[in-house]
Structure 1
Amino acid sequence: MPLGSSRAPSSGLGNNNQGTGGRELVVCLIISIVLFTVGVRTGDSGPLGAVRGAFQTITTPVRLVGSAISLPFQGLGNIFSNLTADQATLSELEAENDQLRSRNAELEEAEQTATRLQGLLDLQNTYDLQSTAAHIISGSSDSWSSTVTIDKGTTSGLSVGMAVTSSSGVIGQIVECGATSSTVLLVTDESSSISAMVQSSRAQGMLNGSTAGEVRLDMIRTDQTVEVGDIVVTSGLGGVFPKGLPLGKVTSVEKNPGSMYYTIVVEPYAHTENAEEVLVITSLTDSQVATSEDVAAADAQETSSSTTSTSDTSSTSNSDSSGSSSSSSTTTSGTSSTSTSTTSSTATTGN
């Protein structure tokens, strides 16, 4: 029985402790609610706001010092993490970098192609060209001709004689045409000859290539106006090239003594080294062919050249004829004088 009486007080003490802990929790919860309500109603201007501000002011230096101390350790942690990255991660990054580099090259190439095609489209719209686009697939296969091969032929409606141009200017003319490819004779070839004119003065001539690859504008008389920097365009004569297409720029003008024509060197605008896409002009409209006034001006230029040449030849002949007549007269006069003198002398002797 004594043992039984001693267990009862122990059990009662445990219940009292549990009851006290529950009451303390309820009291803390009530106090928290009250403080929260008061803080919301009074805001920063109330007593709780003042206490909170004072606490932040006191603890700010501590937080700053803690941040300054922990920052180097954070940096060291990042360095350590990078140094300890596994090989698989590094390989993955390298592969991703290679993919991005390759993609960047593709985008740059696509941008350049779009720029070139836009140039051809602008040229087609500006001159209202009836044309077909083609790609240059190879250059000349020998060293004595200047040609390129394009990837279009008779199956695409092309034929020998059609003009070919890039976005920069005229490239040449088709001289051979197969089913799926064609050969283009470049303006720099010695057998190339294109009717052309100086854009500013409208002086008409022929743009000819040479064995050295130099392009010259021939048949421009010295009484016409041509200057370095003048633009040379197609004249439209012959019905092959549309009138007004750019050919090149005058880089040299020489006037040789006694010559009726200038020696003019032209730098072509189009270079096949920088061209990949071209336009083949399949037909001409009425506005792209030389007008009757252009033909008349060309004829007048030729007539003037012929007249000048004939006049020079006639003048030379007259000069030679006059000289011969004078010489003949002098000879006759001399003979007559000699004959008279001889007769007189004989008569005197006889007498």
Structure 2
Amino acid sequence: MGSPKQSAGLRELVACLVVSVALFTWSCQSGGSGPLAAIRGVFQTVTMPVTYLGAAVSSPLRGLGNIFANLTADQATLTELEAQVSELQAQNAELEERASSAERLQGLLDLQDSNDLRSTAAHVISGSTDSWSATVTLDKGSAAGITPGMPVTSSSGVVGQVVSCSATTSTVRLLTDESSSISAMVQSTRAQGMLNGSASGEVTLELVSTSQDVEVGSVIVTSGLGGVFPKGLPIGEVASVSGDPSGLYLDIVVDLYADPWATEEVLVITSLTDDQRATAEDIAEADAQEGARSSEDDDTGSDE
């Protein structure tokens, strides 16, 4: 037999079970009314604030979770869009470069056609490597039929003259080089002179008599004298005009149309047609101007 304590505990357990069954049966029979319903109501009333508090606490956490998920998605979308923008920018830059190159090449073709130039196109691949000369190097040489002395022009204006060649490259002395000197004239008045470079890079039209009419903005072109440069190629325009201290010649500074350091494609003129050479009239005009200069020199010497 068990101890008195075990018997008492067993009786209590049986009593609790009986009471629980009785209460459950009573709750089912009474429905939503009665003492048990009242007890449930009291329990719900007591626990409702706790339920609301839990909902209030968990709701922001759920919101933060949603925001984080959205931010993650938005960041991925933003990264993808940035990649697309970068790709489009690269494509746009490439298209602009192709369009610019096509425009420059079209300018060379127009110059070639309008002046009936016998020429070959070349790319500028480098500039001079020292401070004593102003030259550029082309990507074509003797293998392409280029020889020293040939004129070089861009679509904007004359650039210079070939001074040396290898089989695949050519060196061009620019008009700004202090060793550069070519025949040129004022387009409107046909005043003849020599276009010279300088150590400073300034270009001047020299040996133009003070008796000649030269104005700022006048266009300077090749004269065709000497049979090297074709007649009428644009060079630049007069930037300033002043009297020489001797009183015989004008000091004429010329702004070149072509920026040799920004030029990428050029035409090397390989030969001249008869129409591109100076005419007998041009030569006679040049001789007359030279005679007038000589006469002025003689008069100056006599005065002295």
User: Is the shorter-chain TM-score for this pair beyond 0.5, marking a shared fold?
Assistant: yes
TM-score by length of 1: 0.65
For the residues of structure 2 that align with 1:168 and 1:116, how far apart are their CA atoms? Answer: 9
SS of structure 2 residue aligned to 1:183:
strand
Q: Which residue of 2 aligns with 1:126?
A: 114
Does residue 249 of the first structure (1) align with residue 237 of the second (2)? Answer: yes
Q: Which residue of 2 aligns with 1:211?
A: 199
Structure 1 pair 83/284, CA: closer, same or farther in 2 (3 Å)?
same
For the residues of structure 1 that align with 2:246 and 2:206, how far apart are their CA atoms? Answer: 16
Structure 1 pair 258/155, CA: closer, same or farther in 2 (3 Å)?
closer
Does residue 141 of the first structure (1) align with residue 91 of the second (2)? Answer: no
User: What amino acid sits opposite 1:291 in the alignment?
Assistant: T
Deviations 1:82-140 (A, max 9, x none): 64627655544333222212111111111111111111111111111111110000000
Worse overlay, 301-310 or 220-229: 301-310
Equivalent residues in 2 for 1:14-29, closer than 5 Å: none
For the residues of structure 1 that align with 2:171 and 2:300, how far apart are their CA atoms? Answer: 44
Structure 1 pair 309/234, CA: closer, same or farther in 2 (3 Å)?
same
Equivalent residues in 2 for 1:96-135, closer than 5 Å: 96-135=84-123
For the residues of structure 2 that align with 1:143 and 1:197, how far apart are their CA atoms? Answer: 29
Give the length in aligned residue pairs. 238
- Verify the 8 A CA contact 2:127 2:261 in the aligned structure 1: no
Deviations 1:222-252 (A, max 9, x none): 0111011101000000111110001111011
From 309, 316, 322, the counterpart of 2:297: 309
For the residues of structure 1 that align with 2:226 and 2:72, how far apart are their CA atoms? Answer: 77
Higher relative contact order (CA 8 A, sep 6+): 2
SS of structure 1 residue aligned to 2:73:
coil
For the residues of structure 2 that align with 1:84 and 1:207, how far apart are their CA atoms? Answer: 69
Structure 1 pair 243/81, CA: closer, same or farther in 2 (3 Å)?
farther
Does residue 94 of the first structure (1) align with residue 82 of the second (2)? Answer: yes
Q: Which residue of 2 aligns with 1:224?
A: 212
Q: Which residue of 2 aligns with 1:289?
A: 277
For the residues of structure 1 that align with 2:115 and 2:232, how far apart are their CA atoms? Answer: 8
TM-score by length of 2: 0.74
Worse overlay, 116-125 or 132-141: 116-125
From 185, 206, 223, the counterpart of 2:173: 185
For the residues of structure 1 that align with 2:174 and 2:245, how far apart are their CA atoms? Answer: 32
Identical aligned residues as a percent: 65
User: What amino acid sits opposite 1:195 in the alignment?
Assistant: S
Q: Which residue of 2 aligns with 1:152?
A: 140
For the residues of structure 1 that align with 2:187 and 2:135, how far apart are their CA atoms? Answer: 27
Does residue 240 of the first structure (1) align with residue 219 of the second (2)? Answer: no
- Verify the 8 A CA contact 2:159 2:174 in the aligned structure 1: yes
For the residues of structure 2 that align with 1:113 and 1:106, how far apart are their CA atoms? Answer: 11
For the residues of structure 2 that align with 1:272 and 1:262, how far apart are their CA atoms? Answer: 26
From 135, 152, 161, the counterpart of 2:149: 161
For the residues of structure 1 that align with 2:215 and 2:90, how far apart are their CA atoms? Answer: 48
Structure 1 pair 307/111, CA: closer, same or farther in 2 (3 Å)?
same
Deviations 1:182-229 (A, max 9, x none): 000000011000100000100000000011111000010001110111
Q: Which residue of 2 aligns with 1:201?
A: 189
SS of structure 2 residue aligned to 1:85:
helix
| Structure whose alpha-carbon radius of gyration is higher | 1
Q: Which residue of 1 aligns with 2:263?
A: 275
For the residues of structure 1 that align with 2:293 and 2:98, how far apart are their CA atoms? Answer: 52
For the residues of structure 2 that align with 1:82 and 1:171, how far apart are their CA atoms? Answer: 61
Q: Which residue of 2 aligns with 1:344?
A: none
SS of structure 1 residue aligned to 2:231:
coil
Q: Which has the higher helix share?
A: 1
SS of structure 2 residue aligned to 1:304:
helix
User: What amino acid sits opposite 1:312 in the alignment?
Assistant: T
SS of structure 1 residue aligned to 2:173:
strand
Deviation at 1:161, TM superposition (A): 0.2
